[in-house]
Amino acid sequence: MPAAGQSAGGLIRQARQAQGLHIAALAAAIKVTPRKLEMLEADRFDELPDATFTRALAGAVCRHLKVPPGPVLALLPPPSGQERLEQVAEGLKMPFREHGDRMAAERDLGWLASPLVWGPALLVIGLVAIYLVPTHWTFLRTSVSGAASAPANVAAAASTPLVAEAAAASEPAAAASQATLAEAAPVPPPAAATDSTPPPAVEPAASGVVQLQASADSWVGVTDATGRSLVSRTIKAGEDIDLDGTPPFKVTIGNARDTKLTYRGKPVDLGTRDNVARLELK
């Protein structure tokens, strides 16, 4: 049960802040503009499209934050009966040639206007459109990216034993050649031992480096090609972080206006929408 004096927007704001989630990051996760979430948390429901949309949006937020939606929905205004009847009428646009046929059809379909039928159905449709479908698309894009990078990783791992075997095979041949030269020369030179020293191993190239600098609090999330999350939190004003991983990197920035992104030593232009940047660094 919500405490006395609490509002639906206040409960949502408390749950989001308790998880340390920036409002822009939450908006990007459920595919709505930050402005709509600000109106929801401020209880300015009259500025949202209608009561049905407000309840569907609140349900999607609760589901993403993994909090029970019941206490929040109980504090929201219910959809009006007129609103439900208009929605039913829009879904039943059927031509009737005679007045008698129209009256018979209205009697047969009258049960569809019941709030008990359309209330839950509209809520489920709203949740699917706002939350489930975009999440499914994101999962597919991540799976395809991970599958494309797997052959490159396997080829790199397979080449390492071949290089080691070639180096091991060359060492006996070099030793035999040096022994022959030592037998032919009357006095072996002192520096002959140093000639057999193998050349230093070449270190592999450094992996891609991602640098983030924030002049104000900003939520950031970065994952690499293996699906590993390199960071998923709010970085504070003045904080700099360096990240290493396997490119390409998927980057989401909740406060792009106050965040600077550098990749491999070069600044990256953040193309934003509603101050939220989503991009891939290859």
CA dist., res. 214 & res. 240, Å (int):
7
CA dist., res. 131 & res. 60, Å (int):
6
Domain locations along the chain? 1-148, 209-281
Per-residue tokens: 158: 């397979």
* Residue-wise pLDDT tens digits, 122-159: 876 877 677 665 554 554 455 545 545 544 453 444 44
Closest to 259 (Cα-Cα) out of 222, 226, 217, 228? 217
CA dist., res. 245 & res. 223, Å (int):
8
* Residue-wise pLDDT tens digits, 23-44: 999 999 999 999 999 999 999 9
Query: Which residues in the chain show pLDDT less than 70?
Result: 1-5, 81-118, 124, 128, 131-208, 272-273
- What pLDDT does 25 receive? 94
Residue 250 · residue 263 · CB < 8 Å: no
- What pLDDT does 271 receive? 74
Q: Could you tell me which CATH class the domain 1-148 is placed in? A: mainly alpha
